[in-house]
Structure 1
Amino acid sequence: MLITVVVPTYRRPQLLNRCIKALLAQRFDKNQFEIIVVSDGPDADTQTMLNNWAGYDLPVLKFMPLPQKRGPAAARNHGWQNAAGQIIAFTDDDCIPDSHWLSEIAKHCHTNEDVAVTGKVIVPISEEPTDYELNISHLQTADFITANCACTKSALIKAGGFDERFSMAWREDSDLHFKLMNNAIPIKKIKTAIVTHPVREAVWGVSIKEQKKTMYDALLYKKYPKLYRKKIQSSPPILYYAIILVFVIMLIGFVSANTGVGLAGLITWLALTFYFTFKRLRNTRLTANHIAEMMVTSVIIPFISVYWQWYGAAKYKVLYI
């Protein structure tokens, strides 16, 4: 067995079914790869969907659900630790690997080396994307993401696999990337290993919910402060802090009956919030619904984002702002 493809999932059988179809259509020797689907907890619907593929003897398709929800990092670890392949390829359940994906990985990932490869990710978005679509499209320029990467099993063992403290789909791929770098494991960029990552439909105001993930920035910063500042975020979110500061000044002014200070704070807060909203709307969809979403969420995001950053700093005991 040359390659094991590990696909973490959780209660998204329709998306997973599309991914499995693409993996079964690989132009690669079916005797030379297996597919391990790891559900992040009990998942009867996914089990039922995978039963529809029971007639396929090759490639081998295995389902390994975790007994309880622990996050995609734990799911990927469970997959590669039970893999028969010498090369471990990772993709996500909402992705569509190109039919030559595995053959391109095999060309550049040699089993006698500690090596990793990262492929090309295509994110199709509309001509007038939403803010959410535009954010997802940044995956196309990421250095290393688990939607499209592979490592020799020996490289994963040397690096220590995924840190399961990253229990949401956020920064666990950056953590593995930095581990590989710190262990002097070369990472090859292979533009011919292609995975398409369609943008899933998002609910109105999804950007507020997404802020919770930023608590894991503190953990990544604690582990790799220099690499974090170099590759993730060069400085703290100054605009967010400025918005919060002038909002506090406004409250102090009005509470203390200092109308001048209160009005100055209000005007500055409105100006900075308008600027933040404008930045998010630039190059995005200018429909009434989307503009309203950006206006409402731009008022909330600075406060909720800084809250989760400080929550992460306290949880992981690191001076991170």
Structure 2
Amino acid sequence: MPTIGRPSLRVLLDALAAGTGPAPEEVLVVDDRPAPGAPLPLPESADGTVRVLRSDGRGPAAARNAGWRAASTAWVVFLDDDVVPAPDWRERLAADLASAPPDAAGSQGRLTVPLPDGRRPTDWERGTAGLERSSWITADMAYRRDVLCATGGFDERFHRAYREDAELALRIMAEGHRILDGTRAVTHPVRPAGFWASVKAQAGNADDVLMWRLHGPGWRERAGEGRGRLRGHLVTTGSGLAFLAGAVPLAAGRGAVKGTAARAAAVAAGAGGAAWTLLTAGFAAARIPPGPRTPGEVARMAVTSAAIPPSAVWHRLRGLALHRGVPPWTPQRAVLFDRDDTLIRDVPYNGDPERVEPMPGARRALDRLRGRGLRVGVVSNQSGVAKGRITESDVERVNARVEELLGPFDVWEICPHDSGDGCACRKPRPGLIERAAARLGAEPAECAVIGDIGGDVEAAAAAGARGILVPTARTRLEEIGRAREVAPDLDTAVDLLLGGRRPW
């Protein structure tokens, strides 16, 4: 349960504790406030049954990742801190998970948004009620933990509670898993909202750009989403800009703008202003009738209908700039390893095959990957060749011994240069990874790289691959701090790729 300390957290925990059916093995609450504040509103009965973690204000995606990575159960259930489980929620959850077939990666709970009696719902209330029709929302979602490990969990580039749950579901289903509808139910009360809530919500347009970058132009259809209003907002905003483009020179010129220029400015102002007025009025007219039509709600709809289009367009442009370099998501097809101190113990400038000693768990980790159909390779800096300490033939003999001990590799890529040679292949440059991926017929984004120093994961990032650091005695603390994913050993690194035990 990610939370920023809202009072609704206590209501959720009380309802969960009072329910019938098997109790959860552990309740993990992730405090996502940027800095520790007042104590979280935990019930007194939560002592010993609730564990609180911190995610330092990095957003709900990061908070959920912190939660499931700290769990150890086969299934992990996500709840928002403002839902209320039904009294039989625990009982039905147990039945949902027990009946899930092996190819089911997730189970979605049913969500109800209670609306007011005796009046029409406000625009904000209608928007919240739309959650009832949403797919894969983490207001109540259970996932197998090994699937979360295999996919890496939620994408933490989604900093708001918006799209991060659908994005994960699209990746999971693209890997051939199913997400089922469960029988359990929660209610989602409508939270109070400020006057500008609908305008602030337009920040989601930047997240939509990230979805488009990751999953292509058809992501809305696969996610069960409609087209949205962005095209209309673009036209409305363009009309407003046309009005300003004509009106500002006329007002600023005070008679200096004459002749053809004045007529063009007047036409732009008149046409743009008329179009903007009609489009904005039409937008407001579509939003007002379904609501309560009180003076306050009508005023809110009128003002925000004018503010929403430019806000939506601005956030769309912001998203295009922010996510311009994001490559499309692709499933991983290959795992590339550093050689020395990752697969075998590092013997500086070793040219003697008899001195090759596998790292603990190396053969087991490689065989697990091979057993799942992933191709494996090695990308290794060997500057001893450039220094004259060893020959390329020595490197080949050592590599042949590595294969005798650890099994066959699908590709070897070696950089024989020294740090001052200016080559494109020496890590942390991406050349080795790019060449290995090309020889495997894969894109770098379809590869993962496992190594023991910062240069390994930096090369992975430069190539667009996933990087996992497995530290050794020579790994610097700052390298560990910079790495996005860190594992204590090769087995756990493979767990992060395939699923299994908790990451470090």
Query: Which of 60, 81, 91 is matched with 1:72 structurally?
Result: 60
- TM-score of the superposed pair, with normalisation by structure 2: 0.57
Distance 1:102 1:54 in 2: 17
Partner of 2:212: 221
Q: Distance in 2 between matches of 1:274 and 1:202?
A: 23
Aligned amino acid, residue 294 of structure 1: M
Distance in 2, Cα, partners of 1:270 & 1:249: 12
CA distance in 1, matches of 2:39, 2:84: 17
Higher relative contact order (CA 8 A, sep 6+): 1
- CA distance in 2: counterparts of 1:318 and 1:81, whole angstroms: 28
Distance 2:168 2:272 in 1: 43
Aligned residue in 2 for 1:97: 85
Partners of 1:140 and 1:292 in 2: how far apart? Answer: 27
Counterpart contact for 1:109–1:115, Cα < 8 Å: no
Q: 2:18 aligns with which of 25, 40, 47?
A: 25
State the secondary structure of the residue aligned to 2:262: coil
Q: CA offsets per residue over residues 106-161 of structure 1, 9 Å max, x none? A: 22324883520111110011231111111111000001100011011122222221
For residues 39-188 of structure 1, what are the structure 2 equivalents within 5 Å?
A: 39-41=31-33, 42-47=35-40, 49-50=41-42, 52-55=44-47, 57=48, 60-66=49-55, 68-110=56-98, 113=102, 114-126=104-116, 127-188=119-180
In structure 1, what residue type is equivalent to 2:201?
E
Alpha-carbon offset, residue 296 of structure 1: 0.7
Mapped contact 2:120–2:291 kept (Cα < 8 A): yes
Contact 2:136 2:166 (8 Å CA) reproduced: yes
Length-normalised TM-score, structure 1: 0.89
One-letter amino acid of the structure 1 residue matched with residue 216 of structure 2: P
Asked if 1 retains the 8 angstrom alpha-carbon contact of 2:14 and 2:43, the reply is no
Pick the aligned partner of 2:283 from 264, 276, 280.
276
Give 1:54 deviation, angstroms.
4.6
- The alignment partner of 1:20 has SS state of helix
Count of aligned residue pairs for this structure pair: 305
| Alpha-carbon displacement from aligned partner over 1:4-58 (angstroms, at most 9, x marks no partner) | xxx110121x11000101111121223x5321100113444344x3372355x5x
- Match of 1:272, SS state, is helix
Equivalent position of 2:262 in the other structure: 257
The CA distance in 1 between the partners of 2:96 and 2:19, in whole Å, is 17
Query: Which stretches of structure 1, 4 residues or more, deviate above 4 A after TM superposition?
Result: none
Task: Tell me the CA shift for residue 260 of structure 1.
Answer: 3.5
Letter in 2 for 1:25: A
Contact 2:288 2:301 in 1 (8 A): yes
CA distance in 2, matches of 1:101, 1:18: 14
Q: 1:4: which partner in 2?
A: none
Q: Deviations over 1:62-83 (max 9, x none)?
A: 11122x2100111111111111
In terms of mean alpha carbon deviation, does 176-185 or 105-114 score higher?
Answer: 105-114
RMSD of equivalent CA atoms: 2.0
| Contact 2:10-2:43 within 8 A present in 1 as well | no
Partners of 2:39 and 2:120 lie apart in 1 by 34
Higher percent of residues as helix: 1
Which region of structure 1 is more displaced relative to structure 2, 105-114 or 136-145?
A: 105-114
Once residues 273 and 87 of structure 2 are traced to their aligned partners in structure 1, the CA distance between those partners, rounded to angstroms, is: 56
Shift of 1:181: 1.1
Shift of 1:193: 1.1
Give the CA deviation at 1:226. Answer: 4.2
1:169 offset after TM fit, Å? 1.0
Match of 1:8 in 2: 2
| 1:70-102 deviation digits (Å, cap 9, x = unpaired) | 001111111111113221111111110112223
Give distance in 1, aligned partners of 2:80 and 2:238: 40
Unaligned runs of 5+ in 1: 1-6
**3-state SS of the aligned residue for 1:304?**
helix
Q: Percent identity?
A: 30
Secondary structure in structure 2 of the residue aligned to 1:125: coil
Q: What secondary structure does 1:143 align onto? A: coil
